């Protein structure tokens, strides 16, 4: 009951934040994930994602992500990954990007409630062969906390909050580096269709601040995860 009351309070706060912001854009993120257990400690993970923007009317990007999760112990795991991104630009061309990241995951469970913390360091290069700064990588640190509650044998509800810290962006004035500049709030549900197949639905609110005007995005998301 305490968890339910806390979740309702968080949801009301989240809803108030949504209503108090000017709507800049709405989009859709759709993700298909494959997971294959290699050993008892290592799992191979492949993600394919498509994102729409401009109120669901325009392609934003799609990416392919390949990573491997390795369990250090029962609660702690590490996950290095590579992501190839095709981002659609305003001049009707694609910007090709390469991202390398390392995630550190910590998870703790109490009965039907679980808490998770993810710390990520990422480097991303844009237009390597066609840009002045192509060989220089953007560098970010991201931290995300999540609470999840198992409603029944098939359905769980979750809320997570993530902050992104900009370490370095090529060509930027130094004043715009070394700062927290983006926050994400996400609420959603996971439905376990079978032992190997899960459907996730979520709503994401993202704000990029320290810029003018402040950019706010409202994202509807769907994720299908298949385990082998």
- CATH code, domain with 197: 2.40.160.40
Query: Would you state the torsion angle of the CA atoms of residues 187, 109, 120, 27, taken in this order, to the nearest 10 degrees?
Result: -10
Residue 162 clears pLDDT 60, i.e. is over it: yes
Mean pLDDT of 170-193: 88
Q: Determine what percent of the chain is predicted with pLDDT higher than 70.
A: 87
Q: What HEC string does 157-203 produce?
A: EEEEEEEEEEEECCCCCHHHCCEEEEEEEEEEEEEECCCCEEEEEEE
Per-residue confidence band for 135, with pLDDT thresholds at 50, 70 and 90: confident
Distance of alpha carbon 73 from alpha carbon 224, whole angstroms? 27
Q: According to the model, what pLDDT value does residue 19 have?
A: 46
Which helix H or strand E contains 224, and what residues bound it?
strand 215-227
Q: Nearest Cα to 149, choosing from 119, 190, 185, 118?
A: 190
Q: Do the bridges between strand 215-227 and strand 25-37 make them parallel or antiparallel, or are there none, so unpaired?
A: parallel
| Contact by Cβ (8 Å): 144, 122 | no
| Number of domains present in the structure of the chain | 1
Mean pLDDT of 152-169: 96
The more confident residue out of 54 and 14 is 54
- Measure the N-to-C terminal CA separation of the chain; round to a whole number of Å: 36
Residue 17 clears pLDDT 70, i.e. is over it: no
Residue 104 clears pLDDT 60, i.e. is over it: yes
Q: According to the model, what pLDDT value does residue 39 have?
A: 95
Other CB atoms within 10 A of residue 2 CB: 7
Strand partners, 126: 97
Mean pLDDT of 89-108: 94
List, as one string, the DSSP characters of 15-68: HHHHHHSPP-EEEEEEEEEEEEE-SSSEEEEEEEEEEEETTTTEEEEEEEEEEE
Other CB atoms within 10 A of residue 90 CB: 6
Mean pLDDT of 52-81: 96
Q: According to the model, what pLDDT value does residue 215 have?
A: 85
Residue-range definition of the domain harbouring residue 48: 2-227
Q: According to the model, what pLDDT value does residue 23 have?
A: 59
Distance of CA 37 to the CA centre of its chain: 22
For the ranges 21-35, 52-66, 81-95, 99-113, which has the lowest average pLDDT?
A: 21-35
């Amino acid at each position: 009951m305490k968890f339910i009351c806390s979740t309702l309070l968080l949801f009301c706060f989240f809803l108030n934040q949504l209503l108090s912001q000017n709507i800049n854009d709405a989009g859709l993120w759709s993700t298909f994930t494959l997971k294959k257990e290699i050993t008892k400690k290592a799992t191979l993970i492949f993600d394919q994602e498509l994102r729409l923007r401009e109120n669901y009317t325009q392609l934003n990007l799609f990416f392919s992500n390949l990573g491997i999760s390795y369990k250090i112990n029962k609660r702690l795991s590490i996950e290095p990954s590579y992501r190839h991104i095709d981002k659609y630009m305003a001049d009707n061309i694609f910007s090709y990007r390469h991202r390398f990241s390392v995630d550190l995951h910590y998870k703790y469970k109490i009965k039907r409630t679980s808490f998770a913390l993810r710390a990520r360091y990422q480097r991303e290069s844009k237009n390597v062969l066609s840009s002045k700064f192509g060989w220089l990588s953007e560098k970010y640190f991201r931290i995300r906390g999540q609470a999840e509650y198992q409603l029944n044998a098939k359905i769980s509800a979750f809320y997570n909050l993530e902050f992104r810290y900009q370490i370095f962006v090529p060509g930027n004035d130094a004043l715009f580096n070394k700062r927290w500049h983006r926050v994400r709030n996400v609420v959603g549900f996971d439905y376990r269709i079978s032992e190997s197949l899960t459907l996730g639905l979520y709503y994401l609110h993202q704000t990029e601040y320290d810029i003018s005007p402040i950019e706010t995005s409202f994202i509807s998301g769907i994720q299908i995860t298949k385990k082998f």
